[in-house]
Structure 1
Amino acid sequence: MHARRRTVLTAGAAGAAGLVAACGSSGDEDGDGDRSTAAAPETSRAAKPSTRAGAASADGSVPGGEALAKTSDIPVGGGKVFAEQEVVVTQPKEGEFKGFSAICTHMGCTVAEVSDGTINCPCHGSRYSITDAAVVAGPAPQPLAAERITVTGDTIRLG
């Protein structure tokens, strides 16, 4: 009886160690950089290979980037998550738009909402500032990566 319990406890400890290791993972096992969780929020998807329409050209620009929203769709002091594009756009101050990765740096969940000045992940409660994507509440270890967006007239585009 005790031997079985030890086996289960040992197996449970090994599983827990694996989970802890997964929490510390950057999510980029193949080294291609697609899911960067680098501390520098200046990282931009536009400078990386993309499978989306409007992939980066040799100079890093995205010709005719994907239209995400109208500026009026993004509330001042808030933002909007574009889950399909894995991007969140915020408007910290009137007329100032920011783009960030919508992938939480804790375990790779997609953030779900923007409210009360933070970008919120539903999985484990991480929250990020709408101004610079800095971690406001963990367990996220790093800020969200910046995403390059452009505003032309009243249209916000990815890239």
Structure 2
Amino acid sequence: MTESTRRAVVFGAGGAGLAAVLTACASYGSPTTEAVVDPAEEPAGDEASSAAPKKKAKAPKALADISDIPSGGGKIFESQKLVITQPTEGEFKAFSATCTHQGCTVASVSNGVINCPCHGSQFKIEDGSVAQGPAGEPLAEKKINVSGGKIRLA
């Protein structure tokens, strides 16, 4: 045999062995063929907005009915870390339920104040300002929408 023929035989045998190993590994535990799907081209520019059906923007889920919030009081929504108050009839405010003193969650609303159980801080239901320390900063105000008898985060 000539040198080039030997190389061809060695490379051919090695290539066949490698192909057999790769085929065995590829077929172990999964199908041996896969469907290849090219992603559809997305329209650009104005085509994108007209090609896709337009969906109406859904309003965020209501946190509460206005009847859930007592006039002159409020309600705490622990999972949202939010307190909603109604300082006067028909006026609704929302604040963070995280006390600005050491980060405890406020626990109740009574007698016109939002109460923190950890160190006794109190905040006014009208504006979240400090009514009694040790907190030195007001509760952060949150934006809400009130319509159709429902209260939603803005």
1:108/1:63 CA distance change after superposition, 3 Å: farther
User: Which structure 2 residues correspond to residues 53-68 of structure 1 after superposition, within 5 A?
Assistant: 64-68=59-63
Task: Name the count of aligned residue pairs.
Answer: 98
Which of residues 129, 138, 142 in structure 2 aligns to 1:143? 138
Match of 2:150 among 148, 152, 155: 155
2:99 aligned residue:
104
1:123 maps to which residue? Answer: 118
TM-score, L = length of structure 2: 0.62
What do you get for the CA RMSD once the two structures are aligned? 1.3
User: Deviations along 1:38-69, whole A, 9 cap, x unmatched?
Assistant: xxxxxxxxxxxxxxxxxxxxxxxx96223110
Q: Which amino acid aligns with 1:111?
A: V
Residue by residue over 1:100-123, the C-alpha shift from the partner in whole angstroms, topping out at 9 and shown as x without a partner, is: 000000000000110000000000
Structure whose residues are more often helix by fraction: 2
Partners of 1:93 and 1:86 in 2: CA distance: 22
When normalised by structure 1's length, the TM-score is 0.60
1:30-69 equivalent positions in 2, closer than 5 A: 64-69=59-64
Give every structure 1 segment of 4 or more consecutive aligned residues whose post-TM-superposition deviation is greater than 6 Å. Answer: none
Bigger Rg, which one: 2
- Deviation at residue 153 of structure 1 after TM alignment: 1.3
CA distance in 1 between counterparts of 2:92 and 2:86 reads 5
**How far apart in 2 are the matches of 1:63 and 1:114?**
31
Determine the C-alpha separation between the residues in 1 that align with 2:145 and 2:123. Answer: 21
Residue matched to 2:80: 85
- Structure 1 counterpart SS, 2:87: strand
Letter in 2 for 1:125: G
| Paired amino acid for 2:112 | G
Paired amino acid for 2:99: C
Alpha-carbon distance, 1:158 to partner: 1.3
* Residues 63 and 102 of structure 1: CA distance in aligned 2, closer, same or farther (over 3 Å): farther
Unaligned runs of 5+ in 2: 1-56
Q: Which has the higher contact order (CA 8 A, sep 6+)?
A: 1
